[in-house]
Amino acid sequence: MQAEPINKPPLFPVRFKMVFGTFLLAMIVLFDRILLSVAKDPVAESLQLSDKQMGWAMSIFALGYALFQTPAGLLADKYGPRKVLTAVVALWSLFTALTGAVWNYAVLMVVRFLFGAGEAGAFPGMARAIYSWIPLQERGIVNGINFSGGRIGAAFALPMVAWLIDAVGWRLTFVILGGVGLLWGLVWYIWFRDNPEDHRGMSGVEVAYIQSNTNRTVGEEKNAQIDFSKLFKSKTMWLLMGQYFASNFTFFFCLTWLFPHLKVTYNLDALEAGFYASAPLIFGALGNWFSGFLVDLIYKRNKWALSRKIPAIIGFLLASTGIVASVYMEEVTPAIVFISMAVFGADMTLSPSWSACVDVGKQFSGAVSGTMNMAGNIGSFLTALAFPYLLDVTGSEVPFFYLAAGLNVLAIFVWMAVKPQNPLEITIER
């Protein structure tokens, strides 16, 4: 009997179950992250905090998240995404729950920073799993699916958490959602394996298909070590970091100030603001799916570099246009339409960004993607502060939106110089 050829994928791939697991994880990541934005008013009232203090509480998460990206990626490369994702999910879920126990501003700042540090390992850990489990021609849509999970999770969180806070209070809401993450971590540790060939449910056909369609080299994990001096001298690394800064600067507004901005600007109650603020996140999910599909479609036509560049450039163009147009809308519905357009575009940049990190990072894709995400979340950190401070200094929200648009335009030119088909030369020479 003739063996099935390795270039034909199995009918029900086990790797799709892994992607479903990381999709759920991305939902939990953003679900937990957006809680403080939705709970802003009751938290501020309970702890007697100003808008600027709430801005710092939101941004300190992004600082902790940014600073621990590269270390978390290194841990995922060294110890594998099975152990690392289990550990980091347990850690940030603990601090999600502990947020419900804070009693003053200082404690809130510490808990939020540590919560951010815990979440830092999520997407670098996913990137490392994708490198081992997902063929090159599927990485675009897989990254799109994963990041859409975050947007869908945040979109559901906005109205649902507003309702839950009204029902049980903001403190118990944080405790309940912390428990969800702990459950995911337990299931992941039991089911997942770092290498597809070690998973008992994986057929030999699927293992062969994965191994023949990835850029893995047998033994590379054992024989190579990363040289950080080379990593931070790499032009490609700095280009990826710069464009991701712009992308996060735009998107993080949705996770921090969009909800209170809509509530105040258009005189909405909490539930109304939650539903309106969820719309851009749904469009962000659509942007991830569309971009992931486009990445893989162009790649399959033997256009490796263009498969990363074109979706990202289109995305940044849509983001810059939408964010400026939203400023001039006097009614909430058209404003949300243009903000949704901006978020759709910003999220179109995620699949090509993370696919490029896996491309150029290879066995160090955890560290490379973590470093890019570090820069991106410095953008998030500045977003949460820039909005209230620029509003205070200028008396207008307009400068913030123009700043975000300008960064998106610059990112278009950055992507023109990226070469994702060239792996980084960042190993220590022996």
Q: CA 355, 347, 111: angle at the middle one, nearest 5?
A: 95
The set of residues, in sequence order, having a beta carbon less than 8 Å from that of 328 and lying 6+ positions away, is: none
Q: What are the C-alpha distances in Å from 29 to residues 235, 276, 311?
A: 30, 21, 24
Looking at residue 224, what is its pLDDT?
Answer: 66
User: At which residue do the structure tokens 């990826």 appear?
Assistant: 240
pLDDT at 357 over 50: yes
User: At which residue do the structure tokens 């648009």 appear?
Assistant: 405
CATH number (domain holding residue 31): 1.20.1250.20
CA distance 250 to 286: 16
Does residue 402 contact residue 249 with C-beta atoms inside 8 Å? no
Looking at residue 348, what is its pLDDT?
Answer: 94
Does residue 76 contact residue 121 with C-beta atoms inside 8 Å? yes
Looking at residue 201, what is its pLDDT?
Answer: 87
Mean predicted confidence (pLDDT) in 25-34? 83
CA distance 241 to 236: 9
With H, G, I as helix, E, B as strand and everything else as coil, classify residue 10. Answer: coil
Classify burial at 136, counting beta carbons within 10 Å of its beta carbon; exposed 0-12, middle 13-18, buried 19 or more: middle
Domain range enclosing 292: 14-416
Residue type, 224: A
Torsion of CA 25, 27, 31, 32, to 10 degrees: 10
Does residue 89 contact residue 185 with C-beta atoms inside 8 Å? yes
Does residue 277 contact residue 258 with C-beta atoms inside 8 Å? yes
Q: Which residues pair with 64 in a beta bridge?
A: none
For the stretch 303-338, pLDDT in tens is: 888 999 999 999 999 999 999 999 888 889 999 999
Residue 272's pLDDT band, with cuts at 50, 70 and 90, is confident
Residue 3's pLDDT band, with cuts at 50, 70 and 90, is very low
With H, G, I as helix, E, B as strand and everything else as coil, classify residue 27. Answer: helix
Question: In this structure, is residue 422 part of a structural domain?
Answer: no
Looking at residue 297, what is its pLDDT?
Answer: 92
Question: In this structure, is residue 194 part of a structural domain?
Answer: yes
Look at residues 148, 75, 61 and name the one whose alpha carbon lies nearest to residue 385. 61
Residue type, 130: I
Q: Determine how many CB atoms are found less than 10 A away from the CB of residue 413.
A: 12
Does residue 65 contact residue 120 with C-beta atoms inside 8 Å? yes
Q: What are the C-alpha distances in Å from 353 to residues 54, 86, 312, 423?
A: 30, 24, 8, 14
For the stretch 50-93, pLDDT in tens is: 888 887 887 788 788 888 888 888 888 889 999 999 999 999 99
Residue 1's pLDDT band, with cuts at 50, 70 and 90, is very low
DSSP 235: H
Question: In this structure, is residue 107 part of a structural domain?
Answer: yes
Give me the helix-helix angle, 122-133 and 14-33, nearest 10°.
Answer: 170
User: At which residue do the structure tokens 């710092």 appear?
Assistant: 56
Look at residues 239, 222, 260 and name the one whose alpha carbon lies nearest to residue 305. 239
User: What predicted TM-score, i.e. pTM, was given to this entire model?
Assistant: 0.75
Task: Report the domain count for the chain.
Answer: 1
Question: In this structure, is residue 423 part of a structural domain?
Answer: no
Look at residues 314, 284, 309, 286 and name the one whose alpha carbon lies nearest to residue 298. 309
pLDDT at 159 over 50: yes
Question: In this structure, is residue 421 part of a structural domain?
Answer: no
pLDDT at 197 over 80: yes
Looking at residue 6, what is its pLDDT?
Answer: 46
Q: Distance of alpha carbon 426 from its chain centroid, rounded? A: 24
Classify burial at 200, counting beta carbons within 10 Å of its beta carbon; exposed 0-12, middle 13-18, buried 19 or more: exposed
Which ranges in 169-223 belong to alpha helices (H)?
Answer: 170-191, 204-212, 220-223
Q: How many helices (H) and strands (E) does the chain have?
A: 21, 0
User: At which residue do the structure tokens 């995911």 appear?
Assistant: 184
| φ and ψ of 199, to 5 deg | -85, 125
Looking at residue 430, what is its pLDDT?
Answer: 54
pLDDT at 35 over 90: no
Q: Which residues pair with 427 in a beta bridge?
A: 226
Does residue 20 contact residue 126 with C-beta atoms inside 8 Å? no
Question: In this structure, is residue 9 part of a structural domain?
Answer: no
Give me the helix-helix angle, 332-348 and 235-256, nearest 10°.
Answer: 150
pLDDT at 154 over 90: no
Question: In this structure, is residue 123 part of a structural domain?
Answer: yes
Question: In this structure, is residue 27 part of a structural domain?
Answer: yes
